[in-house]
Amino acid sequence: MKTTTRIIMLSLLALAAAASPARAQSKSELTVALSSFSAETLDPALQGHNVKYYLSLMFDYLVGVTPDGQPSQAGGLATKWEPSADHKRWTFHLRKGVKFHDGTEMTSEDVKFSLQRATSKRSTTGYAGPLRTLIADIETPAPDRIVIVLKEPTLIIPTYLSRSLSTEGMVLPKKYIEANGDDVFARKPVGTGPYKFVEQAVGSHIKLTAVDNHWRIGVPKYKNVTFRLVSEETTRIALLRRGEVDVADISRERVKELEKEGFPIHMRKEEAIIHAWWILGPEGRTPPTKDKRVREALNLAIDRNEIAQSIFGGYAEPAVIPMGLTWAFKDVGFKVTPDMAYAYDPARAKKLLAEAGLASGFTLDVYAFQLPGFAEGKAFAEAIAGYWEKIGVKSKLIPVDYPAFRKMWVDRKAPGAVGYYNIANRDWIGAYALLEKQGYTPSKLNDTVNDPEIDGMIAQVMRQTDREKINALMRNIFTRLRSEHHGLPVVYVHSPYATSKTLGKYNPGTVMYDLFIDELARR
């Protein structure tokens, strides 16, 4: 008996020794732990949900952006671009001497090929649809020049092909893909970015290694970058504490604790708006939320300050405009005035319900689910349902996972039920892209608004090339979204990322689903 115990003890000790505490991370390695990888395919044309944390290291965009999302001639493969006078031909001048990881040189043929591939039927990228309907032709007059010919005049092309939105602007190697096929490319992707693909273990990690020298960041500071998928928060934090991970997304709940321990926290301010809405029926809004007063009442019943302070640990601000992306407000000169804010006023909410003939309340289905970057999802749903109970609206929580909710939403199977989303903040073109998806009746499946007046204004924005007129249209759209209560804007959330104590300065930027790890690798 004693011998057995001794053997067990010895083997446990041996294991503990093998696992000597917090091995020092060599400077040449950078490890990023993320709670979600979204679709784990490495082919940019198959990334439906725009998650580009690792893709933006392997590929360069036609149009680069600064970490703050501003188009930058220094950050992309195009050094300069200009529209024709009628805004129907956009010419992009390409950087010379850029090579793919397999050694071939990048030319305008590659850009053309990539764009055609991104808008092909097979593509599942975020904006393949609008681009497909917009682009008439792509010309390649010279290896360093490409002209995109459009069916309608528009200003949105450079932004749609930039790093600030989805993956359509990523430039892929034409020869490599044509020679090896899509499947080989998806498994062993080749790009022009500062990091080359090494290996992927689906559901576990993606390893990249630095190129010798990159036109954008010079000699990369880290030899290897690894992205690890660690879905459990406690585990990500433990990895960070042990020094096994250098960057990790963390929940707002644990910011104070980690700050106290001296871990630098990088906040992406107002990263997203938490926006809830009522699912439309096949013919648009259905009673009782067809009544504007009911929509207002449900808005007034929510104490946004309390939600910001408690559910989001103080790292959130009350939101005012449905689908109101604040970075777009700046671009189009939209001012949020104090009278626009929804007061927490259950008494008035009850009065509005009574006026709408619903004094005795009604039943409301609330879908409850979590989303990447919105771990508080279920608590949030419980909280808003709790507020509505207080004004006599019987709120039934329906726990689902996101794909199930999305099916209810786009199939219009549950008219009037409440769903929500964390909508990444973006500039005016990004905001326009969002409205064109979720606030525009002709976009059918995803529409959440169904308001002819708004539809008319959205239709004008795409064809409009006068910024002043665009700005006025956008301001009017936001004003009407608010005055008609087309949704439940709740809060803007700040998203924290923790880094190891030795990592130094880091700006995770403001671009959605991108962490600008390449900026971290800049010497």
Partner 1 sequence: MLRFVVFRLLQSLVALAILSVVVFILARATGDPLHMILPMNASEEDYANARQYLGLDRPYVEQYLSFVGRAVIGDFGNSIRARRPVIELLQARLPYSLKLAAFAMVVSLALAFPLGVMAAVHKGTGVDRAAQIVAILGQSLPTFWVSIVLVEFVAGRLQWLPAGGADSLASYVLPGFTLGWFVVAGMMRLLRSGMLEVLDSEYVKLARLKGVAEHRVVWVHALKNALIPVVTFAGIYFAILVTTAIVVETVFAWPGLGRLAYDGITSRDFPVIQAVVLTTAAIVAAVNLGVDCLYALIDPRIRYGR
Partner 2 sequence: MSVVVLPETAAAPVPAARRRRWPVVSIGIIVVFVLVALLAPLLSLADPYEQALRLRFRPPVWEDRGSWAHPLGTDRLGRDLLTRIVWGSRVSLAVGACAVLLASTIGAAVGLVAGYYGGRVDATLMRVTDATLSFPVILLALILAVTVGPSFGNVVIAISVILWARYARVVRGQVLTLMTLDFIAQARIAGAGAWRIITRHLLPNTLNTLVVLITLQVGYVIIVEASLSFLGAGIPPPTPAWGSMIAEGRDFVTSAWWVSFFPGLAILLVVLAFNLLGDWLRDTLDPKLRQL
Q: Point out which residues bind partner 2 (CB under 8 A).
A: 233-234, 251, 253-254, 257, 303, 306-307, 309-311, 368, 370, 375, 378-379, 382-383, 385-386, 389, 397-401, 403-404
CB 177 → partner 1: shortest distance, Å?
A: 14
379 binds, among partner 1, partner 2, none (CB under 5 to 8 A by kind): partner 2
- Closest by CA to 64, choosing from 81, 53, 76, 56, is 76
Residue 49 structure tokens: 């949900």
Neighbours of 22 (CB within 10 A): 10
Range 195-223 burial, b when 16+ CB lie within 10 A, else e: bbbeebeeeebbbbbbbeebbbbeebebe
User: Binding partner of residue 257 among partner 2, partner 1, none, CB under 5 to 8 Å per kind?
Assistant: partner 2
**Minimum distance from residue 258 beta carbon to partner 2 (Å):** 11
| Least distance from partner 1 to the Cβ atom of residue 405, Å | 9
Which is nearest to 327 in space by CA: 424, 422, 423, 427? Answer: 427
From the CB of 44, what's the least distance to partner 1, in Å?
A: 12
* Secondary structure (3-state) at 8: helix
Decide whether 202 or 359 has the Cβ nearer to partner 1.
202
Q: What values do phi and psi take at 37, rounded to 5?
A: -105, -5
Nearer to partner 1, 21 or 103 (CB): 21
Strand 488-499 vs strand 316-318: parallel, antiparallel, or unpaired? antiparallel
Nearer to partner 2, 257 or 466 (CB): 257
Residue whose structure tokens are 């109101």? 324
- Distance of closest approach, residue 207 Cβ to partner 1, in angstroms: 12
CA-based nearest residue to 477, from 491, 462, 456, 463: 456
Q: For residues 321 and 481, what is the distance between their CA atoms, to the nearest angstrom? A: 7
Taking the least distance from each CB to partner 2, the nearer of 29 and 401 is: 401
Minimal distance, residue 383 CB to partner 2, in Å:
6
Q: How far is the CB of 123 from partner 1 (least distance, A)?
A: 9
- Per partner kind, with CB cut-offs from 5 to 8 A, the member of partner 1, partner 2, none near residue 251 is partner 2
Q: Which of 188, 161, 163, 159 is nearest to 173 (CA)?
A: 188
CB-wise, 359 or 445, nearer to partner 1? 445
Contact yes or no for 489/273 (Cβ under 8 A): yes
- Which of the choices partner 2, partner 1, none does residue 16 contact, using the CB cut-off of 5 to 8 A by kind? partner 1
306 binds, among partner 1, partner 2, none (CB under 5 to 8 A by kind): partner 2
Are the C-beta atoms of 183 and 83 separated by less than 8 Å?
A: no
Say which residue the tokens 């006025």 belong to.
472
* Smallest distance from partner 1 to CB 346, Å: 33
Residue number, 138 or 379, with CB nearest to partner 2: 379
Strand partners, 78: 94
205-210 vs 195-201, strand pairing mode: antiparallel
The residues of the shown chain that bind partner 1, judged by CB under 8 A, are 1, 4-5, 8, 12, 15-16, 18-19, 21-22, 39-41, 43, 46, 48-50, 121-122, 124-130, 166, 183, 186-187, 201-205, 228-232, 234-235, 237-239, 241-242, 244, 401, 403-404, 406-407, 410, 436-438, 443-446
* Partner in contact with 145, chosen from partner 2, partner 1, none, beta carbon below 5 to 8 Å by kind: none
Q: In the complex with partner 1, which residue's Cβ is closer, 142 or 445?
A: 445
SS3 readout for 221-265: CCCEEEEEECCCHHHHHHHHHCCCCCEEECCHHHHHHHHHCCCCE
The binder of 166, among partner 2, partner 1, none, by C-beta within 5 to 8 A per type, is partner 1
398 binds, among partner 2, partner 1, none (CB under 5 to 8 A by kind): partner 2
With beta carbons less than 8 A apart as the criterion, state whether 454 and 355 touch.
no
* CB 199, min distance to partner 1, A: 10
Pairing type for strands 363-368 and 394-399 reads parallel
Please state the closest distance from residue 371 (CB atom) to partner 2, in A: 12
Looking at beta carbons only, is 274 or 300 nearer to partner 1? 274
CA distance 339 to 300: 13
Q: Which does 156 bind (CB under 5 to 8 A by kind): partner 1, partner 2, none?
A: none
Question: 161: which DSSP letter?
Answer: T
Dmax (CA) for the chain in angstroms is 90
